[in-house]
Amino acid sequence: MISKYITTPIYYVNGSPHIGHAHTTIMGDILKRFSLMRGVPTYYSTGTDEHGQKIQQVIEQSGLPADQFLAAQAKEFKDLFDRCNVAYDLFMRTTDTEHMTLVQGVLQDLYDRGMIEKKEYTGLYCVGCEQFKTTAELDELGRCKDHLTEPQKQTETNYFFGLEQHREWLVNWLKSSDDLIQPESYRREILGMLKEPLEDLCISRPKSRVWHGIELPFDTNYVSYVWFDALFNYVSNVRRGDAADFDFWWSNATHLMAKDIIKTHIIYWPIMLRAAGFEPPKHYRIHGYWVAEGGQKMSKSLGNVVDPNDVIDTFGVDALRYYLTKNMGGSDAHISKGLIEATYNTDLANNIGNLHSRVLKFVFKRCDGKTPEPAEIAEPDRELQNYVAKTLDNIVNTVDLITLPDTMKTFLQIADRLNTHYNDAEPWKMVKDESQQNRFLSVCYVMLDCLQMFFRALHPIIPEAAEKALVSIGIKTPSLEPVAVSFSPDTLEPGTPLGTIENLFPRID
């Protein structure tokens, strides 16, 4: 049986959730909802990464007991995702017992099979990254490129996991499918990195330095390094609770992520899986970064940070979801409250919202608050229905993370075409002309029929507004069950009472 398992990265809880966290998590939700509309059972996980040195530092600064501090941090992420209408199936935390037990089991198994080795290592260590850096990873001044601080020379005895013996397999696997990594440029980037031998991966931290982590089962003086701990969430999520059908979900796993973590996910992760006896994931979908309007990096000092909670307070959750979906595929994209407001007014208030309100109000008034029953559907109206049904079917069946901006353009084209059709038909004139009664009913029926298809297909993107729109047409909201949806003309039952007509997107001035 076909299935789909979608994951976001788990988010590091050393700070509050930002627009990037909201974006990836909303995209996962949208892909999950479309997958369910294709009738595919879909499991969607997100969560928080709660171990490691940086988190240990913020726990110590907070003065709170670790579990209390972490629970509060995780809740901040969970609350934001709930406000974003994200229908995740699991919000995992790396401090969950089920997860820690699995990671320890995997580590013990790799150790028993001689794949983990203890040795001394001297290198340049960046505290911010919690990583030893190679000189190639430093800038001209010898600083960490991410933190712009000079790493410290450090010698440590640690446990290492060998990668090089898997390199040839990894290269072949990466070349095996064009659908594995999108956008394609990231596969080329990774294949470029794989031209050089892979150094052993340090998988531990001495407790003398990092006490906050999963203890190595074979040496209690050490904890597991954060990547090994974090990446195995993708496995532990579907080996516990009501999702414990590992093979079913893992057979079609899609990892969503921003471009900064592709090396760990596309080099280390498949190798860890292979060593531990698991299949690699099926898909990687990678998006860019949100930058401020004008192209600068968002920063508190520049005052250009866009806070997702603030956007929801000002414009509503659907405006946030819509803006993020419309503007980012695989590349970087700009964001500001001004840009969101402009998009809201142009696309949502003036186009989609206005289309809904004028058609529904008119039909409600002129057709006794019910879906009209035309004697026959006129040819131009039938053409419109066929176009809408076919286009929406195509959207639902081909939707993918990196092509979402194109999908949104198509939705807007449909809205434009519906607006034009309605304007050209002028049903407000037909209603006064006895000889035009059949066409009048045909136009009214077809506009409602097209709108119900349109809002059912838009539901994964803007669930709140789509639900209101469907209520006004007397249609039930799509369920979060795997029920295949297909779009075809005349599914709307004549005589169905219309519901409350709410203004979906009041204009903001």
Site for Zn ion in 20-49 (CB under 5 A): none
Window contacting Zn ion (CB under 5 A); options: 121-129, 167-175, 191-199, 357-365:
121-129
- Closer residue to Zn ion, CB minimum distance, 9 or 28: 9
Q: Which is nearer to Zn ion, 109 or 146 (CB)?
A: 146
Q: Please say if 421 is a catalytic residue.
A: no
Name which position in 126, 384, 388, 444 contacts Zn ion (CB under 5 A): 126
Give the separation between CA 356 and CA 363, rounded to whole angstroms: 11
Closest approach of Zn ion to the CB of residue 139, in Å: 11
Stated length of the chain: 509
| 444 flagged as catalytic | no
* Residue among 2 and 148 whose Cβ is closer to Zn ion: 148
> Tokens 């949104």 label which residue?
408
Catalytic residue among 4, 99, 144, 255: 144
Asked if residue 124 binds Zn ion (CB under 5 A), the reply is no
| Shortest distance, position 404 Cβ to Zn ion, whole Å | 31
Q: Tell me, yes or no, if 450 is annotated catalytic.
A: no
Please identify, among the stretches 30-38, 126-134, 173-181, 381-389, the one whose residues bind Zn ion according to the rule CB under 5 A.
126-134
Strands of the sheet containing 116-126, edge to edge, are: 131-133, 116-126, 152-161, 201-202
C-alpha distances out from residue 496 to 73, 169, 385, Å: 47, 59, 19
Q: Min. distance of Cβ 266 from Zn ion in angstroms?
A: 20
| Closer by beta carbon to Zn ion, 43 or else 225 | 225
Q: Which of residues 360-379 bind Zn ion (CB under 5 A)?
A: none
Crossing angle for the helix pair 379-398 and 437-458, to the nearest 10 degrees:
10
One-character DSSP codes across 93-148 = ETTSHHHHHHHHHHHHHHHHTT-EEEEEEEEEEETTTTEEE-GGGB-TTS-BTTT-
Q: How many CB atoms lie within 10 A of CB 343?
A: 17
Cβ neighbours around 423 below 10 Å, total: 10
Task: Give the nearest distance from C-beta 145 to Zn ion in angstroms.
Answer: 7
Beta-carbon contacts of 122 under 8 Å, excluding residues fewer than 6 positions away, are: 153, 154, 155, 156
- Smaller CB distance to Zn ion: residue 144 or 377? 144
Rounded to an integer, what distance in angstroms lies between the CA atom of residue 278 and that of residue 261?
A: 21
Among residues 118, 119, 145, 147, the one annotated as catalytic is 147
Q: Is 126 a catalytic residue?
A: yes
Q: Give the count of residues interacting with Zn ion (CB under 5 A).
A: 6
Stretch that binds Zn ion, among 67-75, 122-130, 199-207, 382-390 (CB under 5 A): 122-130
Q: With contact defined as beta carbons under 8 Å apart, do 453 and 388 qualify?
A: yes
Residue reference for tokens 């407790």? 207
Assess whether 147 carries a catalytic annotation. yes
Question: Can you list the positions of beta strands (E) in 261-370?
Answer: 283-287, 290-292, 333-335
Which parts of 127-166 interact with Zn ion (CB under 5 A)? 128-129, 144, 146-147
Secondary structure of residue 298 in the 3-state scheme: coil
CA–CA distance, 270 with 229 (Å, rounded to integer): 14
Residue tagged active-site, from 32, 51, 99, 126: 126
18 is catalytic: yes
Specify the stretch interacting with Zn ion by CB under 5 A; choose among 79-87, 104-112, 118-126, 410-418. 118-126
SS3 at position 327: helix
Residue nearer to Zn ion on the CB measure, 60 or 150? 150
Minimum distance, C-beta of residue 53 to Zn ion, in the bound complex (Å):
12
For residue 227, the minimal CB distance to Zn ion (Å) is 14
Residue 124 CB, shortest distance to Zn ion, in Å, is: 10
Interacting residues toward Zn ion by CB under 5 A: 126, 128-129, 144, 146-147
As annotated, the active-site residues are 18, 21, 126, 129, 144, 147, 297, 300
